[in-house]
């Protein structure tokens, strides 16, 4: 049996058009704030907190999120996830997500900051029913080091698995090990320091939408590089290389705004924590 540094379970259901928590459980170094409703749509928002302030050597975290039919959740963090020096054992986090038909999950965590000598592995397993919608982002940011080196962490490994009816339909794997890779060169970070990833799964996805999204965000290629790709299911992925968190978040915000407006006739909620 694993001993978890922090655990969180959050089950959301739709009650008469309003999404509410059916079950909330947390222990250790994970907590959630009280629910917030940003508008009158009935969508609920929860903020995840880590009272410990960061991930340390050998820390292990487990998150479980479940949305019943037609439930709608925005899930974010109170601040950036900071991974500090892990000299003996990597910090680890696994997340299990279950989305039933008609549900919507917008999972928008703050950036992940890996400091000098940090090792971190993250696995997200997402199980979706037909008609569910997912919007997920990740931003990887190098932390400060005494020498000013941007890639002083040991390892960042992020795995996303998406399943439909038990079948694996999307497998996204990022593994950065600067000591073993020519991290600044072509094929890796290509001279940039920040990496943003987005996965969107929704039945409204089509090629015409991707073209319009690309036109909306591919405006300043000197500051960033961006790529959009269709998934094997109705959805798409986005990769962004940039030199600041603000550039990545600006691109994601534009895409989020378009998706929310066209698919749900809603504006993005303001999630700023400071």
Number of separate domains in the chain: 1
Residue 247 reports pLDDT greater than 80: yes
Q: 103 lies in a domain?
A: yes
Q: What is the pLDDT of residue 164?
A: 92
Q: List the alpha helices (DSSP H) in the chain.
A: 207-217, 245-259
Q: 208 lies in a domain?
A: yes
Percent of the chain with pLDDT strictly greater than 90: 81
Q: What is the pLDDT of residue 60?
A: 97
Of these ranges, 49-53, 149-153, 199-203, the one predicted with the greatest mean pLDDT is: 199-203
pLDDT, the chain, mean: 92
Q: What is the pLDDT of residue 161?
A: 98
Residue 148 reports pLDDT greater than 70: no
Q: What is the pLDDT of residue 66?
A: 98
pTM of the model: 0.94
Residue 158 reports pLDDT greater than 70: yes
Segments forming the whole domain that contains residue 222: 80-264
Q: pLDDT category, 228, cuts 50, 70, 90? A: very high
Q: 23 lies in a domain?
A: no
- Per the listing, tokens 């109170």 go with 78
Residue with the larger pLDDT of the pair 269 and 239? 239
Q: What is the pLDDT of residue 1?
A: 45
Residues 47/65, Cβ–Cβ less than 8 Å: no
Q: What is the pLDDT of residue 206?
A: 95
Q: 62 lies in a domain?
A: no
Q: 25 lies in a domain?
A: no
Instruction: Give the Cα separation of 36 and 43 in Å (integer).
Output: 9
Instruction: Give the Cα separation of 48 and 46 in Å (integer).
Output: 7
Q: 256 lies in a domain?
A: yes
Residue 212 reports pLDDT greater than 80: yes
For residues 13-26, give the mean pLDDT. 97
Q: 124 lies in a domain?
A: yes
Q: pLDDT category, 168, cuts 50, 70, 90? A: very high
Q: pLDDT category, 272, cuts 50, 70, 90? A: low
Residue 195 reports pLDDT greater than 80: yes
Residue with the larger pLDDT of the pair 84 and 185? 84
Q: What is the pLDDT of residue 248?
A: 95
Q: What is the pLDDT of residue 146?
A: 67
Q: Which positions ≥6 away from 212 have C-beta within 8 Å?
A: 258
Asked whether the CA dihedral 215, 217, 219, 221 is positive or negative, the reply is negative
Q: 272 lies in a domain?
A: no
């Amino acid at each position: 049996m694993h001993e978890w540094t922090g655990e969180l379970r959050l089950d959301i259901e739709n009650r008469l058009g309003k999404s509410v928590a059916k079950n909330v459980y947390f222990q250790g170094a994970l907590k959630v704030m009280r629910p917030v409703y940003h508008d009158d749509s009935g969508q609920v928002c929860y903020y995840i907190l880590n009272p410990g302030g960061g991930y340390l050597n050998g820390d292990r975290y487990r998150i479980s999120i479940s949305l019943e039919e037609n439930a709608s959740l925005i899930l974010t963090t109170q601040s950036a996830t900071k991974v500090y020096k892990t000299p003996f054992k990597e910090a680890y986090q696994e997340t299990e997500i279950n989305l039933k038909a008609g549900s919507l999950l917008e999972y928008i965590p703050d950036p992940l900051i890996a400091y000098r000598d940090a090792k971190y592995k993250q696995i997200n397993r997402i199980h979706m029913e037909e008609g569910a919608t997912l919007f997920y982002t990740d931003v990887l940011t190098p932390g400060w080091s005494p020498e000013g080196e941007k890639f002083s962490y040991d390892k960042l490994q992020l795995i996303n698995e998406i399943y439909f009816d038990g079948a694996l339909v999307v497998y996204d794997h990022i593994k950065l090990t600067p000591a073993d890779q020519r991290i600044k060169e072509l094929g890796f970070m290509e001279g940039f320091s920040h990496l943003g990833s987005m996965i969107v799964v929704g039945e409204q996805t089509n090629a015409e939408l991707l073209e319009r999204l690309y036109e909306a965000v591919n405006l300043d290629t000197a500051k960033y590089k961006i790529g959009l790709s269709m998934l094997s299911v109705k959805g798409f992925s986005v990769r962004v290389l940039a030199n600041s968190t603000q550039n990545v978040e600006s691109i994601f915000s534009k895409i989020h705004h378009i998706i929310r407006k066209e698919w749900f006739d809603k504006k993005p909620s303001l999630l700023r924590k400071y």
